[in-house]
Amino acid sequence: MGRKTTKLWFTLLSAILVVVLFAGVTSVSASAVTTTQSLVKTETFTTNDGKFIVWNPLTGTIQYIENGKYKGNYTGLQTLLDGQTWYIHDGRIDPSFTGIVKYDGARWYVSNGTVNKNKTGFVDSNGETYLVEKGKVSSRSGSYSANNGTYTLSSGRVTGVRFNVPAVNQKPRYPTGCEGAAATSLLRFYGYNVSLDEMIRAIPRENITVRNGRRYGPSIYEKFVGDPRGGYTSRNPGYGAFAPVVTKSMNNVIRNHGGSRTATNITGSSVNTLYQNLRNGSPQIVWATYNMNTPRTVNSWYINSTGKYFSYPRGTHVMVLRGYDANYVYFMDPYGGSYKTFSRSTFNSKYQLLGQQAILVK
């Protein structure tokens, strides 16, 4: 084989090797690789720890370089040719990445791949919530007031929060109207001047009737069953309503007040999701039992529209979940309009018992 032929084969094999290497290490989109390359080009950058990084065309990544040799992919923050500080993971920029990155003794907020030094506020990352100040996670610990509430911080991480939810008392006029009272409280928290009477009227209701010795009533998901002005043993007893109809009624009231917020039925949410919503500034309406007692009896009737038998725990209660910390959860209890505290485990069991029903307003 001649020298020219040998050189041609060597060039071809080298090109194939580059393609194979590049294809083998590419675990992100081609656009991410292009973005990374365009922000590095042929420049050499010095990292915060004094090392050098460059673009390696063979791997399509940013790598450490030492004595003219590549020493593996770089991970960390680095200011590149556009003047922005980018998060580079395993040699490449991920323009879609948003979260908290630990680097050089600090934690930074990265949004769409770049450090956002204009960001001040609360942000979520990996199931936690942090207070960020000018792009960096705060070093604050202790109490911090924001969003009409008080947050508890540990080196910038939120470990608890309590909101100043207005107290609304359903008694004495509506002894079984906790749904309407809780909804009134939450809407007032967001600035809507809603009266308790208005919210109670907004929830459609239908009394229990007796036919052929059987008690019949509406679906508790579609109407308030009974009369909220009555107790369980009244002539026209009040039993309650579940999240779907309360959510719909709240949205009607919001619209009547010219509001732009929306109540959302988030039934099925885990308690951890509820706590996440609290960290994000949102108290919620939740279904549990009065004083977290364990029910011994049930309320029951046959549903008018289907004829099916329905029962649920007697003593069900609706409150506003206004805060939590490592051990406790905090509520506005409309039965008396007071603030109450229960253990997290106790609340979790009663929340599960009532089907994890909750309402969020955004």
Domain ranges of the chain: 1-96, 178-361
Percent of the chain with pLDDT over 70: 91
The pLDDT confidence band at residue 130, using thresholds 50, 70 and 90, is very high
171: Cα within 13 Å, side-chain hemisphere: 7
The pLDDT confidence band at residue 15, using thresholds 50, 70 and 90, is very low
**What's domain 178-361's superfamily in CATH?**
Cysteine proteinases (3.90.70.10)
Cα(48)–Cα(180) distance, rounded to whole angstroms? 57
The pLDDT value recorded for residue 37 is: 81
The pLDDT value recorded for residue 27 is: 42
The pLDDT confidence band at residue 50, using thresholds 50, 70 and 90, is confident
The pLDDT value recorded for residue 20 is: 36
Mean predicted confidence (pLDDT) in 289-299: 94
The better pLDDT of the pair 184, 27 is held by 184
